[in-house]
Amino acid sequence: MIPDLSEAEYDTLKAAIREAGRVLVPVVVTTDGEVIDGQGRVRAAAELGIKDYPREVINGLDAEAGHLMRLSLNSVRRHLSAEQKREVVRAALRSMPHLSNSYLGEKVGVSDKTVAAAREGLESTSEIPTLTEFRGKDGKTRPRHLMARTPREQREATDALVRLGDDAPTRLMTAREAVRKAKRVGAAVACATRPVAEVPPDTLAQVHHCDFRKMPVEPGSVRLIYTDPLYHRQHLPLYSDLAEWASKVLQPGGLLVTYLGTSFLPEVMRRLDGRLRYVWTCATLFNGQKTSVFGPKIRCGWKPLLVYCNGNFEPTDWMGDVIAAPVVKRNHVYEQPEGEAEFFIRRLTGEGELVLDPFCGSGTTAAVCKRLNRRCVTTDIDPAAVATARERVARTRVGDPLVRPKRTLAPMPSEPGDFDPVDESLTCLPA
Ligand SMILES: C[S@@+](CC[C@H](N)C(=O)[O-])C[C@H]1O[C@@H](n2cnc3c(N)ncnc32)[C@H](O)[C@@H]1O
């Protein structure tokens, strides 16, 4: 499926193996001895008389998993031309037409649009069947079609399906529902083109532009990580890396407080357990509003925040575990209310202590830390989010009060003395 190495590429590889006197990169083989990755290394080793070389034996791969693994290993490692990649896509579609465009695109290292174009070509010549549903990376099957009533809805539906990729609905939806979903899922990506603003660094709250695993932080220096990663299934591995990274940067007894999608609560806990110690699950209420979770048919009115500790948790005071702050989406599609950040940061840290947010978004954690005179280091991979957060931090002053949104959706009971007098927008429900 992947074109063989050119003679020049093969000669370079063989020369490198001859010079090293051994094969450095393991050859990947199945338990049946089929080479998944490294045909060139096997051939060069044979020609150079090298019998022993490292082999990585993969157990229990069925034919499809083997194909996919070969695709991704080879196409990311090899410099294929655009036409070679298109040919790889066509070959993959011939053997696995039932897989979704975005899944195959991810494996080959091309966009789902490239796969869609190749699929259209192969369908038009009947080289592959025209299927009515596709299987995504998550194993779920999604319909190819949406219900559209007018040509305009049809255009919008097509656009929504392309933008959603594997986030597309698993049931037949109307065009309008899909467009709404595409807006929600895609908005963060759509605004990622703005350049990072040149705002002078802030002494209390630093906003970096890098992956959180590369954020400059001294080990054992952090009192609290307050954060809000992406929630979709494909982002779950982030929680494992977050746990490992948190266990290094947190002080003994330091806390991680993280938002997550309720559907993935057990999976996220599995990923955090082991590195950190579970303390509690807090709830933030949607102010009387409900979101519909289609799988289990739940009208959901709350969201969890998990609290984990690096070592033993030694609380100094009592704390509520149900909060309700009005939703504000002024700066970012996934923006969380400052009131919720304030609730935790006030209680779990002292002035001058260090708070991290590895998934900055619009900088809610950083802005709250600055208002409360806590040090904050945060980062995001999205330049637009970094720009927004830097501007937000720059216009925030130490001691600024929490700004109360103009309209709240439901009356909220309060815990007396919990907040500043101006802070009526944030409440902790009485026990
Ligand atoms: C849910 S949003 C955070 C929203 C934020 N709580 C707010 O109030 O605006 C998650 C952010 O994490 C960022 N992100 C995703 N993967 C990342 C990574 N590996 N390192 C740093 N940031 C990442 C995304 O770009 C996105 O802006």
Q: DSSP states of 304-358 as a string?
A: EEEEEESS----SS---SEEE-----SS-TTPPPHHHHHHHHHHH--TT-EEEES
CA of 127 to the centre of ligand 1 (A): 42
Average pLDDT for 280-291: 86
- The amino acid that residue 31 corresponds to is T
Reading the block at residue 223, the tokens are 């009192």
Go through 154-168 and write b for each residue having 16 or more CB atoms within 10 A of its CB, e for each that does not: eebbeebbbbbbbbb
pLDDT beyond 70 at 408: no
Of 426, 428, 412, nearest in space to 289 by CA: 412
d(CA 401, CA 403): 6
Domains of the chain: 7-141 (no CATH), 145-190 (no CATH), 205-428 (3.40.50.150)
Q: Ligand 1, atom 5: nearest CA belongs to which residue?
A: 361
Q: Ligand 1, atom 19: nearest CA belongs to which residue?
A: 211
Length of the chain: 431
- The pLDDT score that the predictor gives to residue 419 is 36
Q: Ligand 1, atom 8: nearest CA belongs to which residue?
A: 335
- The pLDDT score that the predictor gives to residue 71 is 74
Average pLDDT for 165-171: 65
- Which of 245, 336, 380, 386 for a ligand 1 pocket mutation test, highest count of atoms within 8 Å of Cβ? 380
pLDDT beyond 90 at 370: yes
- CA 48 from chain centre, in angstroms, equals 45
Q: Report residue 192's pLDDT band, with 50, 70 and 90 as the boundaries.
A: very low
Question: CB–CB of 250/221 below 8 Å?
Answer: no
- Which of 359, 369, 379, 388 for a ligand 1 pocket mutation test, highest count of atoms within 8 Å of Cβ? 359
d(CA 334, CA 109): 27
- The pLDDT score that the predictor gives to residue 85 is 81
- Which of 214, 334, 338 for a ligand 1 pocket mutation test, highest count of atoms within 8 Å of Cβ? 334
pLDDT beyond 90 at 259: yes
For 345-358, the pLDDT digits (tens) are 999 999 999 999 99
- Give the residues surrounding ligand 1 with Cβ less than 6 Å away: 211-212, 228-230, 332, 334-336, 358-359, 361-362, 364, 379-382, 385
Higher pLDDT, 100 or 266: 266
What are the residues facing 21 on neighbouring strands?
Answer: none
pLDDT beyond 80 at 426: no
Which range of 20-24, 300-304, 407-411 scores highest in mean pLDDT? It is 300-304
Reading the block at residue 379, the tokens are 């980062």
CA of 227 to the centre of ligand 1 (A): 9
- The pLDDT score that the predictor gives to residue 75 is 66
Q: Report residue 276's pLDDT band, with 50, 70 and 90 as the boundaries.
A: very high
Q: Is 358 exposed, middle or buried (0-12, 13-18, 19+ CB in 10 A)?
A: buried
Lowest mean pLDDT among 87-91, 145-149, 379-383, 395-399: 145-149
CA of 258 to the centre of ligand 1 (A): 12
Q: Ligand 1, atom 20: nearest CA belongs to which residue?
A: 211
